[in-house]
């Protein structure tokens, strides 16, 4: 007689069936997806003032605003509708998204598979008075989250707000609220 295999037991720390506590495992699902799409995460940025880069309350993590700093350490500066094109804004937003993911990784002790939901993206766009495509700019972050985490985890609520200026003259800044699995 054929017997059904027992369902795999889930790790109490990370809720994954493939986890062996105390053993270093191969890259997780999210890390593999990042590699497949050719994304290298930047180093998680240290805070620039008197705040923390992220704060955890239970299984909710609040991530402070991240700015678009490239691998070349150059900030993506400009004002949408004036000195910055829509494509430049989307690219800057995507870069903010990469920095958000780096902070998520820190908050999850290096295991992005512990991200259970991207709950909210908070997008700020440095824009001229007559610029109205803020949602298109912040799509640079939203599209990245779905691409990296998949629609079940990466789809989120958000806002896309226009501002007359942002810190250091950057074109975009973004924060996030996420839910994570238990992290020890």
Please list the pLDDT of the chain residue by residue as tens digits (184 residues).
Answer: 444 444 555 444 444 444 444 444 457 999 999 999 999 999 999 998 999 999 999 999 999 999 999 989 999 999 999 999 999 999 999 999 999 999 999 999 999 999 999 999 999 999 999 999 999 999 999 999 999 999 999 999 999 999 999 999 999 999 999 999 986 6
pTM, 2 dp: 0.85
Q: What is the 3-state secondary structure (H, E, C) of the chain?
A: CCCCCCCCCCCCCCCCCCCCCCCCCCCCHHHHHHHHCCCCCCCCCCCCCCCCCEEEECCEEEEEEECCECCCCCECECCECCCECHHHHHHHHHHHHHHHHHHHHHHCCCCHHHEEEEEEEEEEEEECCCCCCHHHHHHHHHHHHHHHHCHHHHCCEEEEEEECCCHHHECEEEEEEEEECCCC
């Amino acid at each position: 007689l054929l017997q059904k295999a027992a369902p795999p037991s889930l790790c109490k720390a990370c809720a994954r069936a493939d986890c062996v506590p105390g053993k270093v495992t191969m890259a997780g699902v999210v890390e593999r997806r990042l590699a497949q799409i050719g994304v290298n995460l930047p180093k998680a940025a240290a805070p620039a003032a008197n705040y923390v880069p992220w704060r955890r309350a239970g299984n909710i993590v609040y991530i402070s605003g991240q700015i678009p700093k490239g691998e070349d350490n150059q900030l993506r500066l400009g004002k949408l509708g004036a000195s910055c094109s829509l494509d430049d804004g989307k690219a800057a937003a995507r870069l903010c998204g990469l920095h958000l993911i780096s902070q998520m990784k820190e908050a999850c002790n290096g295991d992005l598979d512990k991200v259970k939901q991207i709950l909210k993206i908070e997008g700020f766009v440095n824009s001229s008075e007559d610029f109205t495509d803020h949602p298109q700019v912040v799509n640079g972050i939203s599209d990245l989250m779905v691409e990296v985490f998949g629609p079940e985890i990466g789809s989120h609520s958000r806002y896309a707000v226009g501002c007359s200026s942002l810190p250091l003259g950057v074109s975009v800044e973004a924060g996030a609220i996420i839910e994570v699995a238990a992290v020890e």
